[in-house]
Amino acid sequence: MPSPAARPAFLFLNVLVVATCGLVYELLAGAVASYILGDSVTQFSLVIGLYLSAMGVGAFLSRFVERPSARFIEVELIVAFVGGISAPVLFAAFATTAAFSVLLYGIVVMVGMFVGLELPLLMRILEGRLEFKEVVSRVLTFDYVGALAASLLFPLLLVPALGLVRTSLVTGIANAGVGIWGSYLLAQELTPRERRRARALGWGLIVFLALGVTQAGRLTSWSEEILYDDPVIFAKSSRYQRIVVTHKHGGFQLFLDGNLQFSSLDEYRYHEALVHPAIATLPRPPRSVLILGGGDGLAVRELLKHPSVAEVTLVDLDPAMTALGRDFPLLVSLNGGSLRDPRVHVRNEDAFVFLRENQRRFDLVIVDFPDPNNFHLGKLYTRYFYRLLSRALGEDGVAAVQSTSPLLSRRSFWCIVETMRAAELQVRPYQIQLPSFSQWGFVLAKNAPFAEPTTLPRVPLRFLSDDGMPSLFRFSPDIAEVPSEVNRFDNQVLVRTYEAEWRALGK
């Protein structure tokens, strides 16, 4: 227990810790905001501005606070709680709510206000123990030293070692520590009941936040670590999925529920491969086309290179996704405004239900679903589904099916091929190199036997060439066919296989 004479020195140490913590919260909020919402200049400006002005409000309100010692300890505990959980709450909210920015700025204002109360209260506690000029000089000195400490610790030590979520929790623990410590330093100014309560709450908070530190891995695994290495420039929770666009040196990437769908840097390889080899198998240029999935409009862009195409029906479950493809400037410039073309008819329906009700036949069907990582998607890869697909192809109609990576999920790829065969489709599997992902696989399918396409239609292409065609249909030994079960509506083996393969990859 420090002697009464030593108290001011310890209180200045408190100023140092409090100042460090306060700045860490501000940096955390700025980092989380620019990390998730992108546009870091705006986000940092907004967060710093709001935070500082909220501190001003706190400083102003401090004049209404009586008994500064008791209140100081309470403020410490509140800051410990709100600041401590700020980053985990923001990450959790980002994945689940649309009102992320409201919550973000709310937390910034709240933490700022309480941090703003800290120094005025401390100065009043020191008032009378030291001369006024001493108080001001020392408090501000320690405050600025704390700021320096935070600005060095945050990027150099805390974030690299702990990550954003744990940094937030650990800083909260430090704040709670100050609260408990204060209850000893200022013991004489507190009633016994206040002392007991402050210590109980403080320790409770420390235990709670420490538990959070041990659990943080679960939270960050599905937000920070898995998801996005790059700034997020668009994020929206639709009724069906979380849509996120990130930005990376000169390109952008689309994620659905955290799974990369394409990168603008090499998507042309994928979409050329998805569309043109199928057309190359047709006896005459296609007129009617059905696209299942593909709300980004990129496959449509490739289709519209073919003047014969008179009508494209695009069935994508999520109106938010097709709206993005139609209106999001970066995507519109990438897909050439394909979804605004009068030949394109967008229907926001479940492709499974659409195909079951469908009586029409199409010259070409493009099947471009996300990988089968859940049972909702798994039904779109069943034998039953491929029988419906077979019905939608006329005698000469052809389908091209995105069928995951034969390198990363080899058994899943060949399971899809085997399932299509079981639906009595004639199949031609093929694959390409896709730097953003890996080696990627597709399947061409028709109702009647057909030869590998060799001559591509005469449209502008960047990736495919007649010379390269034969190699698409060759599978090297490490991705060659493996025996596989048929994925049926009532067994969904593909979802289980796919999950097992990705788990094995540690994803």
Active-site residues, by number, are 368
Closer to other proteins at the Cβ: 164 or 256? 256
Q: Which residue among 67, 196, 287, 356 contacts other proteins (CB under 8 A)?
A: 356
| Closest separation in Å from C-beta 352 to other proteins | 5
Coil, strand or helix: which one is 501? helix
Distance CA 13, CA 142 (A): 8
| Closest separation in Å from C-beta 422 to other proteins | 10
| Closest separation in Å from C-beta 281 to other proteins | 27
Q: Which are the contacts of 301, defined by CB distance < 8 A and separation ≥ 6?
A: 271, 334, 335, 336, 338
Distance of alpha carbon 114 from its chain centroid, rounded?
31
| Closest separation in Å from C-beta 384 to other proteins | 4
| Closest separation in Å from C-beta 496 to other proteins | 9
Distance of alpha carbon 220 from its chain centroid, rounded?
11
| Closest separation in Å from C-beta 497 to other proteins | 13
Binding track over 298-327 against other proteins, x by CB under 8 A: -------------------x----------
- Asked if 395 interacts with other proteins (CB under 8 A), we say no
Segment interacting with other proteins (CB under 8 A) among 18-26, 130-138, 442-450, 485-493? 485-493
Closer to other proteins at the Cβ: 395 or 490? 490
User: Site residues for other proteins, window 116-175 (CB under 8 A)?
Assistant: none
- Count residues binding other proteins (CB under 8 A): 21
Long-range pairs for 139-143: beta carbons < 8 A, 24 or more residues apart: 139/12, 139/15, 142/12, 142/13, 142/15, 142/16, 142/19, 143/15, 143/16, 143/19, 143/119
Distance of alpha carbon 106 from its chain centroid, rounded?
22
Coil, strand or helix: which one is 370? coil
Q: Which residue among 140, 492, 499, 502 contacts other proteins (CB under 8 A)?
A: 492
| Closest separation in Å from C-beta 295 to other proteins | 14
Distance CA 353, CA 28 (A): 45
Closer to other proteins at the Cβ: 15 or 93? 93
385 touches 379 (CB < 8 A): yes
Closer to other proteins at the Cβ: 99 or 480? 99
- Asked if 488 interacts with other proteins (CB under 8 A), we say yes
- Asked if 256 interacts with other proteins (CB under 8 A), we say no
108 touches 51 (CB < 8 A): yes
Distance CA 472, CA 113 (A): 62
Closer to other proteins at the Cβ: 271 or 411? 411
114 touches 81 (CB < 8 A): no
- Asked if 491 interacts with other proteins (CB under 8 A), we say yes
Name the DSSP letter for residue 371.
P
Pairing of strands 426-434, 438-446: antiparallel
Write the DSSP string, 211-244: HHHHHHHHHHIIIIITT-SS-EEEEEE-SS-EEE
Q: Which residue among 99, 161, 207, 353 contacts other proteins (CB under 8 A)?
A: 353
User: Site residues for other proteins, window 199-228 (CB under 8 A)?
Assistant: none
Q: Which residue among 193, 218, 239, 284 contacts other proteins (CB under 8 A)?
A: 239
Binding track over 363-392 against other proteins, x by CB under 8 A: -----------xxx-xx--xxx--x-----
Closer to other proteins at the Cβ: 151 or 374? 374
Task: Take residue 380 and report the two structure tokens written for it.
Answer: 């779109």
Q: Which residue among 489, 500, 504, 507 contacts other proteins (CB under 8 A)?
A: 489
- The CA-atom distances, in angstroms, between 368 and each of 183, 300, 348 are 63, 11, 15
Interface residue list for other proteins (CB under 8 A): 239-240, 317, 350, 352-353, 356, 374-376, 378-379, 382-384, 387, 488-492
